[in-house]
């Protein structure tokens, strides 16, 4: 029987399928991924060493979805960080089920190191100290991940509030959007607050 002209598997296809599977099921196993790809589990090991490498391929696929990694780091750090945050929030929001897996696996991939190198250079050039940079990056990432999940949450997150039992909360909710704008407003407000807060560290 002749071999197929197009290989059944490659690393790009494995990463994309794993990302879809984790998004749909919230977990990732080799047997489930093999079934999704229509191959035997042993076939995967011709391309990857195991689950950790598959997670790396998922990250690579997500980074590809986030857009080009050649963003201009010569701009003001606030502007560059905002662009980075918005791009990654959009990419993570497309795969909310995969967020817990991707967010808790150590970053060992060279392409991820290269991305963080750019962010670290951006902040150091902006005047932050070496001891400040990683806490700031982690804080921004935590916000991005939470905001990505908020995009797929119900538009109304606080309900059944009465003026009699919670008059102040009721007044606030009356002035809060009840559609997709709620998540967008929360993200814009939080990102602006973070960037303003980051700047306060420059005077310390």
| Residue appearing with tokens 């991939």 | 109
Q: Which parts of the chain register pLDDT below 50?
A: 1, 4-6
Dihedral, 99, 103, 106, 109 alpha carbons, nearest 10 = 60
Average pLDDT of the residues of the chain: 88
- Residues in contact with 144: Cβ distance below 8 Å, sequence separation at least 6, in sequence order: 85, 88, 89, 92
Round to whole Å and give the CA distance between 173 and 178: 9
- Its pTM stands at 0.82
State how far Cα 6 lies from the chain centre.
Answer: 32
pLDDT at residue 156, as a whole number: 87
Structural domains of the chain sorted by starting position, each given as residue range(s) with its CATH number in brackets: 1-66 (1.10.10.60), 68-203 (1.10.357.10)
DSSP assigned state of 201: G
- What is the per-residue pLDDT across 70-104, written as a single tens digit (0 to 9) for each? 666 678 999 999 999 999 899 888 898 888 888 88
Angstrom distances, CA of residue 100 to CA of 15, 42, 86: 16, 26, 19
pLDDT at residue 176, as a whole number: 86
Angstrom distances, CA of residue 157 to CA of 91, 118, 151, 179, 186: 23, 36, 12, 10, 12
pLDDT at residue 74, as a whole number: 76
């Amino acid at each position: 029987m002749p071999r197929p002209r197009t290989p059944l598997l490659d690393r790009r296809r494995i990463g994309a399928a794993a990302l879809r599977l984790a998004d749909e099921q919230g977990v990732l196993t080799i047997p489930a991924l093999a079934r999704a790809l229509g191959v035997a589990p042993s076939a995967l090991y011709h391309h990857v060493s195991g689950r950790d490498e598959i997670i790396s391929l998922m990250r690579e696929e997500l980074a590809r979805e986030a857009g080009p990694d050649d963003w201009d780091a010569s701009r003001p750090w606030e502007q560059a960080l905002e662009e980075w945050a918005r791009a990654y929030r959009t990419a993570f929001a497309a795969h909310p089920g995969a967020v817990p897996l991707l967010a808790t696996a150590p970053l060992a991939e060279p392409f991820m190191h290269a991305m963080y190198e750019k962010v670290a250079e951006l902040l150091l050039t902006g005047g932050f100290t070496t001891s400040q940079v990683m806490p700031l990056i982690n804080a921004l990432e935590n916000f991005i991940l939470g905001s990505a999940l908020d995009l797929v949450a119900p538009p109304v997150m606080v309900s059944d509030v009465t003026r009699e039992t919670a008059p102040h909360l009721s007044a606030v909710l009356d002035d809060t959007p009840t559609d997709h704008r709620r998540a967008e407003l929360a993200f814009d407000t939080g990102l602006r607050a973070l960037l303003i807060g980051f700047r306060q560290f420059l005077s310390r």
